A and B are shown apart, each in its own frame.
Chain A
Amino acid sequence: MAALVRRRAEQRALRRAADGQRTEYLAFSLAGEIYAVEIHSINEILKPPPITEVPRAEPSVIGVVSVRGRLVTVIDLRKRFGVQDAAIGHLTRILLVDKGDEKLGLLVDEVLQVYRLTETEIEPANVLGGDQPAHILGIGRPKDGTGRRDFGSLLVLLDLRPILEG
């Protein structure tokens, strides 16, 4: 019995070594594109509570919400990326992330799924050509269950830090 368990574990380890390190990404849609961020950077996914607008804040700040008694500033990622507005729909979610010692909410159109990507499934950002914004880490091309390329999913992998600082 124990030998069997050990063999299984060894096989798993071998497979992982072959694949390279896997990292989990949460994919979400925004203005028709699919983006993904490392799942560790997301604290929570919220259904948007009523958002209170903050006059005179910068345009990408959509307002503040209360998350269990804590005020959270919500940022509209569309506006950060310079794409058009969209109304808050029933699929709209807020991703709760840390910025220093405060929490921020990122408004996204729809949360899709979690991808586990190996290094081989990530293309560097420069495939898109010359100068890419600092917040784009690369392009994720996850394989589907059968091991083939899943061309339906093309993920723009985001580095949240530059976005939050902006």
Chain B
Amino acid sequence: MKSSDFVRQLPGGEAHFSRPRTLASILHIDVPLFTLLLILVLGGLFVLYSGSEKSMSDVARQGIHFAVASTLMLILARFDPQVFRRWAPWVFFLGLAGLVAVLAVGSDAKGAQRWLKIPGVGVRVQPSEFMKLAVPMMVAWYLSDRILPPSFKHIIGALIIIFVPAALIAKQPDLGTAILIAASGVFVLLFAGLGLRWILGCLAGVAALAPAMWFFVMHDYQKQRVLTFLDPESDPLRTGWNIIQSKTAIGSGGFGGKGWLEGTQSHLDFLPESHTDFIIAVLAEEFGYIGVACILTLYMMIIGRGLYIAANGQDTFSRLLAGSLIMTFFVYVFVNMGMVSGILPVVGVPLPLVSYGGTSVLTLMASFGILMSIHTHKKMLSR
């Protein structure tokens, strides 16, 4: 840590010339992270081909999603982290306006209002997805200027920044995303040094609020999910069906799996959403415990690299943002793999970079772009 302080004081140019200009440095790519992501994405496409019942068009479309998202990643990686810091409030309030607009005029998809049609252009945007980046950026922006660990006043300030958008999203209703966003904001606070007493206090608060949520906030279908989670066999036709079938798929995979494209659960239509939220069950059925262990290890390596990048961040804003982004990524992994295997309730969180779907891929790759920007612009700051 001290050494980095010294680096910052070195005369300009020296750090810059200390390394040869490779393709990676020109593109502002973090090679280890990029390699790990590439393995995950390519492996994911194989599983997707099986999970989507050998639909080449789904795989191709997902490939396009990745291409677009990678481009965004490379673009974001080029920006100096200070740019994100300057933009943070603008991005945040733009997203907040979007959320309010969604509740006011949003178009209806699957009974919930999540999308906003931009008139004239014909493009639909999902402000809640946008907020997955905007909220941690805003909280990091807010705290990075203050003395850390944050004072009581600033903790309250940060909590307001977190819970206003989270509440708006929960109202859409999209509890899964609201939880992810609240988590991303809370991670910034935790990395900023939120006191142990606060952490315990919040946990107690959540525990106390849970019954109130149950009676006043949660929709019937959400309650049903929790009840089903507690006892899937009680409701075998509804949400319990998904859990029972996905557990059967996972369990029947055994140690070595049934082999690629050989999964009977998914191919006989027993497994619902086999190419989106429940794709890990396809992987577990066809590649067995080995497959699960591989992908989980891969995720851990990505997260490890992300934490390393965060720890080496040049300034407080970068560190807080990077730490939050990578921990949110872990929450995705944990919640998805937990819900599919029946240790968490079903909340509609995709398996990052493997589940089919363009929006989450875009958000996740954007966050990796920010991580790469934080890592690759370190030395140049000193110029």
Question: Is chain B a partner of chain A in the same complex?
Answer: no
Binding site for A on B (CB under 8 A): none
Binding site for B on A (CB under 8 A): none
